[in-house]
């Protein structure tokens, strides 16, 4: 897999374009390499894991999130990845397959602060919002912290202030356009739910 991907990167570089991200099959192969990394490839494997897998609803993201969840639970081990690092990287995946593992970790005393930090900046919670709410009502201090952060809109207020003036390019597209045209989802008709306080 590494040899093929390096060849792909070189071919794309010769054309002056960025390489494609890893697909689900490549990500599965990467998981196996991370369990027993070849000598000298450690940094490259971590770079692929961190920077070459699309976030969100991509199939490779599903494999990546599942791997991180297994590492966090201690079900899978990699000499290159601690449970803490797995949670940190789950927090960079923007929302979807990474959410349930992060919510589950709120019950792990050692890892809950990391999961809470990641969840505070998540917007694409969908029905997992209610899982956090349930944990908060049951007395989970980290879930309560997340709910308070969302309520106070810290995810928004922590963003840089908008510039006084911005120059943008607008593309006019004929016909019907939806979010799947801009950010492909595995299936059409996917229902996205907003946070209760933003509906």
Mean pLDDT score across all residues of the chain = 89
Cβ 30 vs Cβ 48: under 8 Å:
yes
Given a contact cutoff of 8 angstroms between Cβ atoms, the answer to whether 93 and 118 are in contact is no
Is residue 18 pLDDT above 70, yes or no? yes
* Domains, the chain, ordered by start: 2-161 (1.25.40.310)
- The predicted-structure confidence for 125-161, as pLDDT tens digits, reads as follows 889 999 999 999 999 999 999 999 999 999 888 889 9
Whole-prediction pTM: 0.80
Q: Determine phi and psi for 78, rounding to 5 degrees.
A: -140, 135
d(CA 44, CA 185): 28
Q: Are 29 and 38 in contact (CB under 8 A)?
A: no
* Structural tokens at position 57: 């609803």
The CA-atom distances, in angstroms, between 24 and each of 58, 93, 94, 104 are 8, 15, 18, 24
Distance, in Å, from the CA atom of 186 to the CA atom of 188, rounded to the nearest integer, reads: 7
Position of tokens 């709910």?
A: 147
In tens, the pLDDT along 88-116 reads 999 999 888 999 999 999 999 999 999 99
Q: How far apart are CA 40 and CA 134, in angstroms?
A: 46
pLDDT reading at 178 higher than 80: no
């Amino acid at each position: 897999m590494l040899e093929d991907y390096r060849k792909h990167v070189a071919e794309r570089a010769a054309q002056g374009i960025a390489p494609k991200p890893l697909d689900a099959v490549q990500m599965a192969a990467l998981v196996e390499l991370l369990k027993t990394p070849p000598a000298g490839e450690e940094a490259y494997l971590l770079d692929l894991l961190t920077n070459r897998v699309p976030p969100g609803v991509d199939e490779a993201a599903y494999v990546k999130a599942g791997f991180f969840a297994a590492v966090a639970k201690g079900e899978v081990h990699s000499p290159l990845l601690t449970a803490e690092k797995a949670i940190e990287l789950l927090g960079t995946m923007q929302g979807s397959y990474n959410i349930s593992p992060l919510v589950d970790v709120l019950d792990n005393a050692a890892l809950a602060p990391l999961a809470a930090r990641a969840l505070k900046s998540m917007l694409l919670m969908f029905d997992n919002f209610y899982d956090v709410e349930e944990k908060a009502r049951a007395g989970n201090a980290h879930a309560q912290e997340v709910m308070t952060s969302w309520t106070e809109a810290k995810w928004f207020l922590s963003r840089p202030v908008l510039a006084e003036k911005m120059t943008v390019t607008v593309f006019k597209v004929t016909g019907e356009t939806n979010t799947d045209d801009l950010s492909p989802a595995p299936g059409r008709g996917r229902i996205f739910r907003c946070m209760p306080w933003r509906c």
